[in-house]
Structure 1
Amino acid sequence: MNLIKVGQDAHGNAIVLNYVDYGQGDPVVLIHGWPLSGASWEYQLAELPLHGVRAIAYDRRGFGQSSRPWDGYDYDTLADDLKAVLDHLDLQNVTLVGFSMGGGEVARYMSRHQGARVSKVVFVSAIVPFMLKTDNNPSGVDKSVFDDMIENLGKDRFGFLQDFSKNFYGQGVLSHPVSQGVLDSFAMLAFPASPRATSQCVKAFGETDFRQDMGAIKVPTLFIYGGSDAIVPPATGAQAAAKLVPGAQLVAYDGEPHGLNITSKDRLNRDLLTFLNGQPVQSYFDQEEMSGNMPRRNYNNANEPVTR
């Protein structure tokens, strides 16, 4: 295991984060969603290093193989943990990729730490800018939804997470976008997490307002979301967030659920590499463009290929 110390708990015990670090090139730091771990980036960790990218993923405190302290599940602390990862590895020219809850770490890091070391950011199915429905955020989600999640986690965490995985991947009676193996993998990653961390993070991503943080993002930014996301409604998430970052690219994956890093892994990998290469990400996906070495076209805009 690769471990980075990020602090200590109330009893003086070290708090460490587990991470993996693959490939060589400009670094991409992948920040996972709730309630999983860095291992949920399996398909990105396997593909990106094949294209001259250094891919790094770590387990959030309380999840995966990282420490499980009682406290520290607020976004200020989580952004400080991200800073510790970047500082420990002395990364430069970093692209941060935040999935779902991980998007909050990206936004808070960019404001709290002035975007140090970061050259690009990507939000995938992210919970920014503000999930909670309030008088000045009418497109948000009712607080009762998050309260019910915490209550059900307390009653039957394992059963709740199993059911949640189906919504995560858009699995239904007539819709089967993922295998039973993928659902089992979700449970294998989610079940070992700290129960305390699992519930506290619901409160964090459900109630933290990132609207001011978004204004601190001054680097090229890409928002990707699933058009059928039942976890983070597009109007609550990416569609609202992109308006707060001038020049940001906004790309919808039509028909895709929240967990599009699995259900649309090839497209996501291609789009990440396209963005890393400084090119606009097209709004459609052409399977015929894909091959073993994942070739790319250059685009003037989202729909027009450049001919050479």
Structure 2
Amino acid sequence: MPYLEKTTANNESNISIYYEDYGMGKPIILIHGWPLSGDMWEYQVPALIEAGHRVITYDRRGFGKSSRPYDGYTYESMAEDLHSLIKKLSLENVTLVGFSMGGGELGKYVEMFGTHHISNLIFISSIAPYMLKTDDNKEGVPEEVFEDMKANVSKDRAGFLKGFGKDFVNYKDHKDKVSQGMLDHSFSIAVSASPKGTLDCIDAFGKTDLRDAMKKIDVPTLFIHGDADQIVPPAPTSKQGHELVKDSKLHMFKDAPHGLFLTHTEELNKAIIDFLK
């Protein structure tokens, strides 16, 4: 299995980032959401390969098959991991696709490293630019929501994730599209992640302000979001991001939940492929 091996900034430990690399053509890196892994892209990878792309997925530190360090769950560290992967694979003209928390890596990557290696950005159900409700971000999510999430993860992580999985796909509305097996599979991915990483990432995706970072994006950019998303409200995220990124496009999926990669698979795949054409 391929891994990106890197040493932490203080040289105290090594980090191994698991990745998979398939297909030929223009490269696409798919960045997963919280608290999943690269396995969430099971129904996107074949479609993108068949459309003529080289498709790379990886597991964020603390998740999937990657190392589980105790600290380092900030967007700065995670953007550095992404940059190291791009350098290791000598990629150019890369399309970065970030789902949910993964949208934060896109914003922070551009802020830290620019767009020299990047040709397109696609934010899907993304938390970027800013989820937290503040005086100048009034449509955001109140801080107590994230604090409650942290408390529940600390007290009963497995129990919290069970309920979160159903809210993720608006299960009552999409029972015909999402089987119990799909829910169980997603839960098994989520519950196998680092408990500390699962906890710390809540602050990263919930409280990181990427509004200035988004203003630095200068490549073609697409925002995709479901108008029935119960996890990440589109107003402070994709809609605000669309306003901040010059000449970007916004595609709202009607009646789609947060986990639209499961409920609106074909529509999502088509939107990505059409944008890259």
TM-score, L = length of structure 2: 0.97
Higher deviation after alignment, 83-92 or 108-117:
108-117
8 Å CA contact retained: 2:61, 2:67:
yes
Shift of 1:39: 0.5
8 Å CA contact retained: 1:129, 1:241:
yes
Note the alpha carbon deviations across 1:57-108, whole angstroms, 9 max, x for none: 0000000000000111111111111101100001011000000000000011
Note the alpha carbon deviations across 1:132-153, whole angstroms, 9 max, x for none: 0001110000000000000000
Give 5+ residue unaligned stretches, structure 2.
none
Structure 2 counterpart of 1:119:
119
Structure 1 counterpart of 2:223:
223
Q: How many percent of aligned residue pairs carry the same amino acid?
A: 47
Shift of 1:12: 3.1
Shift of 1:175: 4.6
Shift of 1:11: 7.4
Matched letter for residue 199 of structure 1: L
Note the alpha carbon deviations across 1:231-280, whole angstroms, 9 max, x for none: 11111211111000011000000000000111111111111111111xxx
Structure 2 counterpart of 1:183:
183
- Higher alpha-carbon Rg: 1
8 Å CA contact retained: 1:9, 1:15:
no
**Pairing 1:157–2:157 present:** yes
Distance 2:62 2:174 in 1: 32
Distance 1:10 1:171 in 2: 44
Give 5+ residue unaligned stretches, structure 1.
278-308
Note the alpha carbon deviations across 1:183-241, whole angstroms, 9 max, x for none: 10111110110000001000110000000000110000000000100011111211111
Matched letter for residue 169 of structure 2: Y
Distance 1:199 1:30 in 2: 22
8 Å CA contact retained: 2:15, 2:67:
yes
Determine which structure has greater relative contact order: mean sequence separation of CA pairs < 8 Å that are 6+ residues apart, divided by chain length: 2
Structure 2 counterpart of 1:201:
201
Shift of 1:5: 1.4
Structure 2 counterpart of 1:261:
261
SS in 1 for 2:98: strand
Distance 2:118 2:9 in 1: 28
Distance 1:246 1:190 in 2: 35
Matched letter for residue 265 of structure 2: K
Matched letter for residue 67 of structure 2: S
Distance 1:71 1:216 in 2: 28
Between the two proteins, the alignment pairs up a number of residues equal to 276
8 Å CA contact retained: 1:110, 1:116:
no
Distance 1:9 1:92 in 2: 25
8 Å CA contact retained: 1:27, 1:55:
yes
Distance 1:9 1:62 in 2: 17
Pairs within 5 Å for 1:96-115? 96-115=96-115
**Pairing 1:75–2:75 present:** yes
Pairs within 5 Å for 1:129-168? 129-168=129-168
Distance 1:186 1:9 in 2: 32
Shift of 1:116: 2.7
Matched letter for residue 20 of structure 1: E
Structure 2 counterpart of 1:24:
24
Structure 2 counterpart of 1:289:
none
Structure 2 counterpart of 1:232:
232
Note the alpha carbon deviations across 1:159-192, whole angstroms, 9 max, x for none: 10010000101112x6524110111011111011
Q: 1:219 to 1:9 in 2, by over 3 A?
A: closer
8 Å CA contact retained: 2:174, 2:263:
no
Structure 2 counterpart of 1:7:
7
**Pairing 1:242–2:245 present:** no
Structure 1 counterpart of 2:128:
128
Distance 1:191 1:20 in 2: 21
Q: Note the aligned Cα RMSD (angstroms).
A: 1.2
Matched letter for residue 130 of structure 1: Y
Distance 1:40 1:231 in 2: 17
User: Which is helix-richer, 1 or 2?
Assistant: 2
Divergent runs of 4+, >2 A: 6-13
TM-score, L = length of structure 1: 0.88
Shift of 1:14: 1.4
Distance 1:168 1:41 in 2: 15
